[in-house]
Structure 1
Amino acid sequence: MTGKIEARLAELGVTLPEAPAPAANYVPYVQVGDLLFVSGQISQFPEGMIKGKLGFDMDVTEGAMAARRCGMSLLAQARAACGGDLDRIVRVVKLTGFVNSTPDFGDQPKVVNGCSDFFVEVLGDAGRHSRSAVSASSLPFGVAVEIEAIFQVR
């Protein structure tokens, strides 16, 4: 039987990727009590990474799409941590978004909205969260966006 969150993803036409493997010496998630800390997920499509620098070779719309892809990977990690049951997610508690951007680019919040809007679209009010959206002069592999999350789970 498909859970409510999986059904909502299907309704939206969203297929989550497999939970990406860590790229270095860390684990993809850690659960402490009812909090699930998911390591930063980079912007990527199944065929490869979404690279670029906001304010140079990417615009806000492209950046928000990259952030949405980070949100999909974050949910994929949460699904793996929850034994395949996304309905164990109670709410998204916090996001921290890093945007690869030029020194004069100031729309990091609009970029990270791609992930925030995705979570609200999928989870409703449980997707609303606290958040930071900051600039980075570079990100791993030259990706455009990296986002980490804290979920409350049951």
Structure 2
Amino acid sequence: MGRVEQRLQAAGLTLPPDWTPRGRFLPYRRDGLVVYLSGQICEWDGAVTHTGPVADTPDAIAQARKAAQVCALNLLYRLREACDGDLDRVDGILRLGGFVNCAPGFGATPAVIDGATEVFLTLFGDAGWHARTAVGVCGLPGNAAVEVDAVVRLRG
């Protein structure tokens, strides 16, 4: 077990079981040392874990942060595939794109997507810092509360 997977275990987190994508797309695409990860919703074992729209209340925002964490774990599952099973090959998380299923005027999208950011910082330390967007949208696949995509650089 590599260092990143040890950190994952120490944080009490696990990667999801494999699942079938909800559309026709690649789960990731590699271009040299850069991996482009397709957006992942908060889905676990074929079921959406948190549905939207996310209400503008402290409890709902806290639950949506958990949804973003699930998205990050799904991204890591696919990233591990792109790294031939070795997450220690990750050199840096370059960018996250976060989408929150919410009503117009919802201002807590950054706080929600922090749930995904925290996973990457926990596992990769300074290499987990990334550029990021956090956008409110009127709907996501499966009425999921959150979707996150990522761009990652690998070691040579």
Shorter-chain TM-score: which interval? over 0.9
Bigger mean CA offset, 142-151 vs 39-48: 39-48
Check the 8 A contact 2:100/2:109 in 1, yes or no: yes
**1: CA distance, partners of 2:153 / 2:66:** 25
Does residue 52 of the first structure (1) align with residue 52 of the second (2)? yes
Equivalent residue number for residue 14 of structure 2 = 15
Give 1:108's aligned residue: 109
C-alpha deviation, 1:54, in angstroms: 1.3
2:143 is matched with 142
SS of alignment partner, residue 59 of structure 1? helix
In terms of mean alpha carbon deviation, does 26-35 or 14-23 score higher? 14-23
- Structure 1 residues 121, 10: closer, same or farther in 2, change over 3 A? same
How high is the TM-score relative to the length of structure 1? 0.93
1:12-45 Cα shifts (integer Å, max 9, x gaps)? 1211113433221110000001110000000123
CA–CA separation in structure 2 for the residues paired with 1:127 and 1:63:
21
Q: 1:39 to 1:114 in 2, by over 3 A?
A: same
Measure the CA separation in 1 of the matches of 2:56 and 2:123. Answer: 31
- The code of the aligned residue for 2:34 comes to L
User: Shift of residue 56 of structure 1?
Assistant: 6.4
Corresponding residue for residue 36 of structure 2: 37
Q: Which amino acid aligns with 1:146?
A: E
**Deviation at residue 47 of structure 1 after TM alignment:** 6.6
Structure 1 gaps of 5+ residues are none
Q: Quick one: which amino acid aligns to residue 32 of structure 1?
A: D
Matched residue SS, 1:39: strand
Q: Which one-letter code corresponds to 1:46 in the other structure? A: D
1:121 maps to a residue whose letter is T
Q: Alignment length, in residue pairs?
A: 153
Q: Deviations over 1:95-153 (max 9, x none)?
A: 00010001121110000000001110111111110000001011111000000000101
AA matched with 1:53 = P
Identity %: 37
Unmatched 5+ residue regions in structure 2? none
TM-score (norm 2): 0.92
How large is the RMSD of aligned CA atoms in angstroms? 1.6
